[in-house]
Amino acid sequence: LQFLYFIGCTMVATASDLFVEDIENLSLNPRVLQHATWRTTKEAVEEKKHWKRNKPQLGQARKGDWSDAKHTTLGTKGALIEAQRCLKCADAPCQKSCPTSIDIKSFISCIANFNNYGAAKMILSDNPVGLSCGMICPVSNLCVGGCNLAATEAGGINISGLQEYAVSHFKKMNIPATRDPSLPPADKMPASYSTKVYLVGSGPASIACATFLARLGYSNIEIIEKDAYAGGLSSSEIPQYRLTSEAVQWEIKLLQDLGVKVTTSCEFGKDVTMEDVKKQKAVLFIGCGLPKPNIDACFKDLSPSNGFYTSKDFLPQSAVASKPGLCGCKSGASAPSAPKLHGKVLVLGAGDTAFDCTGSAFRNGAKRVMVCFRRSTADMRAVEEETILARHEKAEFLPYCQPKSVVMEGGKISAIEMWKMEQDDDGKWYKDDDQVLKIKCDFIISAFGSNIGSDLEQEIGKAAEMKWGKVMVNADMCTKTDGVFAGGDCVGSGLTVEAANDGKTASWSIHRYVQHLSNNTVPVTPTLPLLHTAVDDVDISVEVAGLKFLNPFGLASAPPATTLPMIARSFEAGWGFAVTKTFSLDKDFVTNVSPRIVRGSTSGPGLGPHQGSFLNIELISEKSAAYWCSGVRQLKQDYPKHIVIASIMCGHNKDDWQELSKMAIEAGSDALELNLSCPHGMGEKGMGLACGQKPNLVQDICGWVKEVCDIPFFAKMTPNITDITEIAGAAKAGGATGVTAINTVSGLQHIKMDGAAWPRVGPSKMTTYGGCSGNAVRPMALRMVSAIANKFPGFPILATGGADNADTVMQFIYAGSPVVQVSAAIQNQDFTIVQDWISGLKWQLYALGRSDLAKWEKQVPPVNEATVLTTGMLPRFGPYLDERLAAESKECSTKYEAGTIGDLSNVEGHTAGKIPTIQNLLGKALSTIGSFSDLLAMKPKNQAVAVVNDDLCINCGKCMMTCNDTGYQAIKFSSDRHQPFITDNCTGCTLCVSVCPVPDCITMVTRDETTRPDAPTYEPSRGVPYGKPQLPVGAKVKLSI
């Protein structure tokens, strides 16, 4: 409510002003529909134009615009939503459909958990050109084609977009690849690892092969490339708007980090010959492309000067002129000239290369591009990802045509005559001489495939069998000659990802061949090393109460620890410790009911993984104490470095607690956890919660256990109490080593439409209050952990309650707990999530040691925040979008005409400083958690205001609506542009930030003279000033604000 009351002034507000709101701010606020909306069709059609966002940008408007045009590209919001859609299926079909066998479900799980480093590591470990593949892979025919969600109305996951997103963020981190420290030093490696390895061509096959060889420890690897730049066809032929030169050159840098030498302007058969390879007793991998175009006879003797290009002329010339870093010129200098096109261009062919030519023709100045091909549109060889863009840019398609002859005028192409193709009853295609079509055009680009070329074929033929212009290899990429291997385009693997897998396969064949020559044993099953960086060397072990934990991640005493084999499997997966399912003396045995573990009601309509909570009415373990004690003994024998904590429960009985404690100690448990907090079932037997809510009983029990216990023991705290520090204090007074906080929160999850609760048991459909777990209870867990840590400094705490990724584990560390127990997150997925958490936490610690990464939040770089109230950026719809596109098109065209492109900026390497340990960061947040009076004491520096970044804003108005109906009516919302403007009435409540759907679109900044020059200090509206009487009801009068 807006109200002005000027004491001592002539204008004094009346009672009616109490009820006057800012009509301008509320003009677009939602209203309850009282009647059907009336509007003429003509008005609707016109108004639609103003708000239209999905206008196609015609190809002819793309001149000089080589920016990303893929429909799969994702930003942070889109990537997180898409990653959370993924089901992370068992035996995932998507992975089986990937030629390089990337662990797709795991890398997507990493993205969903804000671990872009972990995702990129998984991708690049199996595919060293994972960024390139994320940009150009025809996933509709590969991984996405096998996605189980493709069987639903939701559709398959955008896997390529997620892959590009993750690896692009890793690229921005500027973390070099490093040699695996498990290898002996380079000078201590066996002599066989210094064998010379030549790789012909610097495309995906050679990059992959060289990378894996370098990871294996080979130190004398050289890639030779005939062009002046590396990258093969990825650099020279795939356009910048699909695959950037920055991406390709970065992938090459990663292998150079491992010591691989890349020599450009070095041609196989001239600068390095087969004879040279033999003399040096080197190994050879042939990973070249197919450099010679197939040209129809009617184009004989034609050249670009006549208006005729082959794809091998046109695409490399376009690439060098448009891709930063390829031409060797510096930023702002003149680049080599791009093909200068105009008018109508015909592209001949219907493969991927033809459609690369199509998009590039538009960007080189063509006004119309027509794709002509011999067969039907249904028979086009191009993948869906290529044809979608061509259709979107309004390229034209002309099927059933084959070139017959070219019409020339003044030495330039003016038209082409085409035979009409027909198909007989046997399915064979033939040209019909009676049907000839003449098409006027200004340029022709032939994309009828390519071959290896006679000179290169002759040189390769000295060592390998050639057939139909391809190098013949077996399944292991071996040629007929020992020590000569091949892969990629030259063997018929036309996709980048297939070429990469050829190189990957060949690397192990080369390794096996070289080591056998030296009589060294090589495993039968290939064991290719993963990507390794300095992040992987970060130590995340931690010591608690004298116990050394390999990492801070452990199983809670919950469903994941139901059996001993499950705990063993968790250790194999990488978990650092486990707390057994709670067991009791035989006399206190339990039998569960069912159903008993259900998804929570806090996750909205989301199904599958990423449930926000679970509710259970499960009791302690149904298995005997003998089972658990026997199993603990076996676990400690099999996994001596892992911590095993026995969770035990008894009633308020000294003899019982001491007997059970002795059994668990004698079994070899590293520590005990006293379950004093089970919120359902056990309390009715005088156990669990019945003991844990009373300080005197907690102190008694801890004292009894202390008398017989010579190992650490932790009392498990209940959150179902007013002050948890009172109970923690009682445990400490009783002699407990520390506490576990918290157990599940008592609750009731569902009441269904028939009035019965869920889970419902038996014919009577009965239920009981159960334990709520998962990230819905994390705020409570963080509060209670931090409260205990603040009150009892140095008192060990094992946290549990809502940790679901490395980022949230770090929050518990900052709150005062060095290790975290996990259940719900595993219930959502499986034991392997721990690898995501391990790499994520290592990255967090590594980033804190690098000043350039320390400000990254959730592994995403900070945006350039707006710090003052400026507005006016054009929205991206209707006439404003037209204006934006026109300005961008003009800028691109100007650069194109001037021939200026940027170079590849040399990003400075960053050396990490001192990497903090978990112990260094333990409890870091505690000093910032105080009372409300502490916050008031910071006045006037305790006020902030919101600022909107217009360029990120999508104009949804969510900020305005929440501010109007639950806040302070401090946001104006323009009716034409739908842009929010935050006024001086902003109180800094932060509701707008909380509901904004775009990351970092709205930020909070300190309120001062810079951010609010007209209202640098916050003066709250009191309605009726203090000390003034209540005002009578009066007429409502508008008050100008």
> Strands 614-616 and 770-773: what pairing?
antiparallel
Cis check: omega of the bond before 184, within 30 degrees of 0: no
Q: What's the CA gap between 813 and 44, in Å, rounded? A: 56
Round the CA-based radius of gyration of the chain to a whole number and report it: 34
The identity of residue 88, as a single letter, is: K
- Parallel, antiparallel, or unpaired: how do β-strands 745-747 and 770-773 relate? antiparallel
Distant-in-sequence, close-in-space partners of 694: CB < 8 Å, separation ≥ 6: none
φ/ψ of 1020, rounded to 5, equals: -65, 145
629: annotated active-site residue: no
Partners of 200 in the beta sheet?
A: 224, 286
Give, as one character, the DSSP assignment of residue 898.
H
Specify the DSSP element, H or E, that contains 417: strand 412-423
Catalytic choice (133, 678, 691, 992) = 678
Neighbour count for residue 26 (Cβ, 10 Å): 14
Q: Are 224 and 274 in contact (CB under 8 A)?
A: no
Task: Identify the CA nearest to 80 among candidates 57, 113, 52.
Answer: 113
Q: Could you write out the three-class secondary structure of 1021-1041?
A: CCCCCCCCCCCCCCCCCCCCC
Q: Residue 901, preceding bond cis, omega within 30 degrees?
A: no
> Whole-angstrom Cα distance, residue 176 to residue 182?
17
Instruction: Let me know how long the chain is.
Output: 1041
Hey, how many other C-beta atoms are within 10 angstroms of the C-beta on 897?
A: 13
Total Cβ atoms within 10 A of residue 708: 14
- Render the burial of 269-288: b for 16+ CB within 10 Å, e for the rest: beebebeebeeeebbbbbbb
Backbone angle region of 688, left / alpha / beta, with phi > 0 → left and psi within -120 to 50 → alpha: left
Report CA-CA distances (Å) from 1002 to 81, 659, 873, 943, 976.
19, 59, 15, 16, 21
Residues 6+ apart with CB under 8 A from 769: 679, 680, 746, 747, 748
Buried (b) or exposed (e) across 240-252, using 16+ Cβ within 10 A? bbbbbbbbbbbbb
Contact status, residue 416 vs residue 437, Cβ threshold 8 Å: no
What DSSP string describes 1000-1019? TSEEEEE-STTT-TT--S--
CA dist., res. 61 & res. 918, Å (int): 54
User: DSSP secondary structure string, 534-576?
Assistant: GGGG----EEETTEEESSSEEE-SSGGGSSHHHHHHHHHHT--
Distance CA 603, CA 613 (A): 7
Tokens of 208: 């992959």
Q: Provide the CB-side half-sphere exposure for 885 (13 A, CA).
A: 18
Residues ≥6 apart with Cβ < 8 Å to 628: 564, 580, 581, 583, 621, 646, 664, 667
Between CA 101 and CA 103 the distance in angstroms is: 6
Instruction: Give yes or no for a contact between 823 and 775, defined as CB atoms under 8 angstroms apart.
Output: no
Under DSSP, is residue 371 helix (H, G, I), strand (E, B) or coil? strand
Residues forming the active site: 678
